[in-house]
Structure 1
Amino acid sequence: MTSPKAKRPPAPSPAPIWGVGLILLILGLDQISKYWVLNHLDLLILGHIEISPIFDLTMVWNYGVSFGALKAHADWQRWALVALSAGIASIFAIWLFKAQRRQTFLALSLVIGGAIGNMIDRVRFGAVADFLNFSGLYFPWVFNVADAAITVGAILLALDMLMNPDDPPQSKQDSPSDKSSETSAA
């Protein structure tokens, strides 16, 4: 007789839950910071506030994707970028719930949260509000919390894929051709 423990299915991993929590945290930080910059600072009027020799707040409307690539000036281009962001976020969300490694969950959650944050801006404003300026460090782009999350998530995802390549092909013992040769030999 088998023990009752052996009959129970494995408990679901809590990782997708904290992945969703991280998505919501990134989304919240992104939207709160943009709300603060757009509604409580005079950054829309001033355009620039010097904080330190290496960091400034500089208001820039990004009509493209990361670092201003693929600028969308026409309305249909804007909605194409919204659809692209929604598609990427959806595919990554499916991957998130199938992933097994913590680093994969972290990376995907960061990218999804950032993509949704920027997608909200495109829907609301027609462009993404960027304001973090580290030009004092010779970094030429102005970005936001969502952009930072996407970039860090993409780097972590690339590292995860490099450090954890797919399992090698099935061993000889498990391959279908070996099973057919075993049955024909019997």
Structure 2
Amino acid sequence: MTEFQQPDPAKTKRPLVWGRFSSLVLVVALAGLVADQASKLWLLFGYGLGVNGPVQVLPFLEFVLVWNRGVSYGLFQQDSAAGQWVLAGLTVAITIGMWIWSARCQSKLVAFALALVIGGAIGNGIDRIIYGAVVDFVHFHIGSFSWYVFNLADVWIVAGVAGLLYDSFRNGPNSAAK
């Protein structure tokens, strides 16, 4: 190969576990995980949200305890221990897949977005393993309209997915996979 030829991307070895932005992914995912778990622990055990009941924060925002035994928006509710472990196992598998994707990505935006999703997924996965359900507590409502109840992990996941979608529209449909 001469100095003017580019290496064949198909022959270039791509990292599996640790890549160009893995340090960033690790720090952002851990920060999101810590913020999520700290907020849940404080509301459950510091304030005692389950005992003291809902807290009106603003006219359109309250903290209320909801145990989500399903996935996003309460879909696929699982009341059995086996169902909860299946969801926990899926969380682990998806998180590993996203970590591998992040190790191979070439964009800081994609790495950051994946880090948010990873941190959120681990946060909700910890809840599922410890409590058998995800701790949701943020409730937006305006008049008779009520948004679903969520937590910080859900915010990280939605923000991460939004970043991945933005990247796919900005650079073409396959850019996030690169």
Higher relative CO (CA 8 A, sep ≥ 6), structure 1 or 2? 2
Which structure features the higher share of strand residues?
2
TM class by shorter chain equals: 0.7 to 0.9
Whole-angstrom distance in 1 between the partners of 2:96 and 2:146: 31
Kept in 1, the 8 Å contact 2:20–2:104? The answer is: no
Q: State the 4+ residue runs in structure 1 displaced beyond 6 angstroms.
A: none
Q: What's 2:100 paired with?
A: 94
Give unpaired runs (5+ residues) of structure 2: 1-17
The alignment's TM-score, normalised by the length of structure 2, stands at 0.83
- After superposition, give the CA deviation of every residue in 1:90-140 in whole Å (9 maximum; x if it has no partner): 000000010011110111000000000000000000000011111238452
Q: What's 1:105 paired with?
A: 111
Matching residue within 156, 160, 164 for 1:153: 160
Task: State the secondary structure of the residue aligned to 1:91.
Answer: helix
Alignment of 1:30-41 (within 5 A): 30-41=36-47
Aligned length: 156
Q: What's 1:175 paired with?
A: none
Task: State the secondary structure of the residue aligned to 2:160.
Answer: helix
Q: What's 1:134 paired with?
A: 140
Give unpaired runs (5+ residues) of structure 1: 1-11, 168-186
Task: State the secondary structure of the residue aligned to 1:71.
Answer: coil
Q: What is the aligned-residue RMSD (CA, Å)?
A: 1.7
Matching residue within 40, 43, 48 for 2:54: 48
Q: What's 1:115 paired with?
A: 121
Whole-angstrom distance in 2 between the partners of 1:21 and 1:43: 29
Q: Cα–Cα, structure 1 residues 35 and 141, in superposed 2: closer, same or farther, change >3 Å? A: same
Which structure features the higher share of helix residues?
1
The alignment's TM-score, normalised by the length of structure 1, stands at 0.79
